[in-house]
Structures are given as C-alpha cells and as structure tokens.
C-alpha cells in the first residue's frame, strides 16, 4: 500500500510539473501572432494522432483546415510549427543556422545519448564526422563501390538463390545493415549482423515515440535494444583500437572517430563513440532498406517498368568484362533506374520528415514563430500534391525524363540546403547496386499485392513483402 501511494505521489508531481511547464509556454507565447492550429490536449498535445493517425494524413488534414502554408500543433512534447509546401521548404533550407538548428525529438536524444558528458546540439556532431573527412563524397565512395557490389552479390547468392519465395524487406534490411557495418565500422561478420538486425528494428520504431519507459512500451524496447547494440559496439571498438595500435590502416569511419581527439587532447570516451556510431548505422540502415523494398513492390506490379530497368542493367553489364565489379561510370549510366527509384521515394518516402529548433523569433507567411519552438517539415506536402505531380497516386517514372522539370523545392527526398542528407550518394550507390544485381537474376511477383503498409514515420510492409522469384 505504501508503494502505491509513493507511485501516486510521483505521478501527481510529474503532472504538476508538466502543467507548470505547459502554463509557462503559454505565457511566453501570449501576445504573439501565432500560426493557426490547435495545441490539442494539455501535455500530450496532438502526439497520439500524429504518431498513430499517419503523419502525412495528420499534415494534410490540418493544411486543409488551417492553412496550406503553416499551422501550429504540439507533438512529442514540443510546441511546433509545421511549415508546408515548396515555399516552406525553400524558406527552411535557405535559413539554416540563421533561424534554425538541428533538433531531435526527446525519444531520439535519450536513445542515442547514454553517456553523461555534455553534448553538442543533437545531430550536429554526427554530421560533422561524416562531412569533415569526406567519407561520403563521391570520390571517397567510388573506392567502396566495388565492395558494395561484392557484398550485394554474396547476399543474393546466400539468401535469394534457390528460393521460390522470399520476404524482400527482411533481406533488404540484412543487406543494408551489412553494407553499413562494413562502411562505418569495418566489419561484416554475419553472426554479429544477424544479432543486430532485430535490435535496430526496435530502435527504428522507438525513434519517434512517447518517452514512456516501462516494460511493454515501444520506447522501453528501443532502450533495451540500444543497450544491446552498445555492448556489441564496445567490443568492436576494443578490437578496432587494438588493430590501430598494431598499425592497421584506417579505412572506416569508426577508426577516424577513435583517433580524433577533442580540444584537450583526450580521446572520445567509448560510450560516446558507441552512441555516435549507433546513430550513423541507424541512418544508413532503415531508409535505404525501405527504398529497396518498395522498389520491389512497385516494379513487381509493373512488368513494363521492370523490362526497361532490366534492359538498362543488361546494357551496363554488357559493357563490362566477366566478373568485373561496378564502377562510377556504370552508376552514371543507370538513369532510368534512378528515375524509377525517385518515383518510389515520391510515393513512399523512406522518412516522412524531420525537426528543427527556432534559434530566434522569426516571421513566416505573416505569422510569428517564437524562439525555442520546434519546426517540422515533411516531403509529403509536395510529393502528392496534384499541382506539382499530376495523378499523384500513379507510379510514373517518366515524370523524371530529361526535359521534364518540377518547380523548385517540390521534390526533396533528401532535404536541401546546407543540411541536405550527407548520405545521399551513399544511399544512391547502395540502392543501385542492389537493383543491378536483383533484376539481372530474377523476375518476381508479389504474393499479396494488397499487403498493408504500416509504420508512422518510417513505412514498412506488414508481412515483409513476400515475393515469388523466377530465375532469369
């Protein structure tokens, strides 16, 4: 009984503090010309509808109700302005670090930041790591392309060949995690990667969730998965340090992070290294696998498009000697295949959107957004707008043919401006290497063409997209 009253008192105290913070935010915003919209319920705001009512529907409904340019809401514990349409995209991308800085929802911050050391603004340090040594520049990636091709071929031979039916999504996830582990941490041990796949699935689900950390919740599972991944990564870090000490070459991002020192000359703590690498692996895993999977879905429904992709890939293969791996020039010949993938990402964006934080009060579309508010932008406000994409639900790669163009900032699957996704070229190479290998080996048909798509911020086929394979 005593325990019950203690718990009840803690809950009451938490609610009281939350209500005080809620009232404080209202006071700070009072008198400002805020965008139209609703904050929803006290404390939880409109989070439940945002997460479980599909984020794109959430945005479209409010654009129709309040404004096609901007509206206010409260999601994931934050007062938020949702900026919509190509003008909103342009304004956001053009004002990075003037009005906006990177922001991760609290669920993401808590999952990726186990260490106690004070950290820079979420997302900035990881992006600095990727950009500064040039790991993701084309000239660096071209050296890795052959390895991508080799790993993809090995996965096809071991997991796809000889099977009448496979589930495309789990296999795509296994492939992309293998590629990410090889590129980011310099390992491709099959047993270790098999253990990591399920953990990363749990983390992906928890990235945009309510921070309820007790057994049975999505967030609790994500935290347990993060702890398990950190344990694996610390073992990798130890092995990597031993290899570096013995003079082994540094050919991966983990090695670079290990030897990089902070201004005081001390090496970064292992816990912090593990958190940063976990964030990078997550970024290089789920979104790439999603694009591969929905390529299989949409092309599996369209034999005419499959034939054009196959013809292009056979032409690329015919220009090479037997056994020769993919090179940069080969990727540049895959124009139709990339048009198909652009249409895949338009119809089913691997990631719905991202958040920023307002560095200062600013005005947009006649409304004031206060300093400290969060700003959410999403590709869906333009991707399925018939003004920019006629018959938006139709799968039509010809939209991207030479000579066709869209208004600026209407098609932004990788974002834009200074914070355009630094992994864009990495993703393009990984996905095109997959396309090159899968279409030359197999024809396929969907086992269940009406399979439900689930997931909120990151979509996934409910049953893993089973497909029937026919060997070429």
Residues 6+ apart with CB under 8 A from 33: 366, 367, 368
- 8 Å CB contact between 268 and 262: yes
Q: Give pLDDT, residue 132.
A: 47
Burial of 444: CB neighbours in 10 Å, binned 0-12, 13-18, 19+:
buried
pLDDT, average across residues 258-274: 69
Lowest mean pLDDT among 5-9, 105-109, 330-334: 5-9
Q: Which residue has the higher pLDDT, 369 or 401?
A: 369
Lowest mean pLDDT among 76-85, 125-134, 222-231: 125-134
> Which band of pLDDT confidence, cut at 50, 70 and 90, is reported for residue 67?
very high
Alpha helices in 284-332 (DSSP H): 286-300, 303-318, 328-332
Q: Give pLDDT, residue 407.
A: 86
In whole angstroms, what is the distance from residue 175 CA to residue 153 CA? 10
Q: Which residue has the higher pLDDT, 121 or 315?
A: 315
> Which range in 203-207, 286-290, 357-361 is most confidently predicted, on average pLDDT?
357-361
Among the four given CATH numbers 3.30.160.40, 3.40.50.150, 3.30.465.10, 1.10.630.10, the one describing domain 124-471: 1.10.630.10
Instruction: Count the helices and strands in the chain (H runs, E runs).
Output: 18, 12
Q: What is the pTM of this model?
A: 0.86
Is it the case that residue 181 has pLDDT exceeding 70? Answer: yes
Lowest mean pLDDT among 97-101, 256-260, 276-280, 399-403: 256-260
Is it the case that residue 130 has pLDDT exceeding 90? Answer: no
Across the chain, mean pLDDT equals: 85
Q: Domain residues of the chain, as ranges? A: 124-471
pLDDT, average across residues 79-103: 93
Show the tokens assigned to 295.
């390529």
pLDDT, average across residues 36-45: 93
């Amino acid at each position: 009984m005593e325990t019950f009253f203690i718990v009840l008192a803690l809950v009451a105290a938490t609610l009281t503090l939350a209500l005080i913070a809620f009232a404080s935010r209202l006071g700070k915003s009072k008198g400002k010309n805020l965008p139209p919209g609703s904050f929803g319920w006290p404390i939880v705001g409109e989070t439940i509808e945002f997460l479980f009512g599909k984020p794109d529907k959430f945005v479209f409904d409010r654009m129709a109700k309040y404004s096609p340019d901007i509206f206010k809401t409260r999601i994931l514990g934050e007062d938020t302005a949702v900026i919509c349409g190509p003008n909103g995209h342009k304004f956001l991308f053009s004002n990075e670090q003037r009005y906006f800085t990177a922001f991760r929802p609290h669920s993401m911050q808590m999952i990726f930041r186990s260490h106690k050391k004070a950290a820079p603004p979420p997302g900035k340090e990881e992006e600095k790591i990727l950009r500064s040594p040039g790991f993701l520049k084309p000239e660096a990636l071209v050296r890795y392309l052959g390895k991508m091709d080799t790993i993809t071929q090995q996965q096809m031979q071991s997991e796809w060949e000889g099977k009448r039916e496979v589930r495309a999504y789990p296999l795509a996830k296994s492939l992309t995690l293998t590629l990410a582990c090889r590129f980011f941490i310099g390992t491709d041990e099959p047993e270790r990667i098999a253990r990591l796949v399920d953990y990363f699935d749990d983390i992906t689900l928890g990235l945009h969730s309510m921070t309820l950390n007790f057994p049975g919740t999505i967030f609790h599972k994500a935290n347990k998965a993060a702890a398990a991944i950190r344990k694996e990564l610390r073992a990798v870090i130890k092995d990597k340090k031993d290899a570096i000490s013995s003079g082994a070459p540094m050919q991966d991002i983990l090695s670079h992070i290990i030897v990089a020192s902070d201004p005081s000359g001390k090496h970064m703590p292992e816990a912090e290294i593990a958190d940063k690498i976990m964030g990078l692996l997550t970024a290089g895993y789920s979104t790439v696998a999603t694009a591969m999977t929905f390529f299989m879905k949409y092309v599996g429904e369209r034999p005419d498009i499959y034939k054009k992709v196959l013809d292009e890939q056979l032409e690329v293969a015919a220009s090479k000697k037997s056994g020769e791996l993919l090179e940069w020039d080969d990727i540049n010949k895959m124009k139709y295949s990339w048009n198909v993938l652009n249409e895949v990402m338009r119809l089913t964006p691997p990631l719905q959107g991202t958040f920023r934080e307002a560095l200062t009060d600013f005005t947009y579309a006649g409304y004031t957004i206060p300093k400290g508010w969060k700003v959410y932008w999403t590709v869906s406000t333009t991707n399925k707008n018939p003004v920019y994409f006629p018959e938006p639900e139709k799968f039509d790669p010809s939209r991207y043919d030479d000579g066709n163009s869209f208004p600026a900032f209407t098609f932004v699957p990788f974002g834009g401006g200074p914070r355009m996704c630094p992994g864009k070229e990495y993703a393009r190479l990984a996905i095109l290497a997959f396309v090159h290998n899968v279409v030359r080996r197999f024809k396929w048909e969907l086992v269940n063409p009406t399979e439900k798509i689930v997931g909120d911020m990151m979509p996934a086929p409910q049953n893993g997209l089973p497909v029937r394979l026919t060997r070429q």
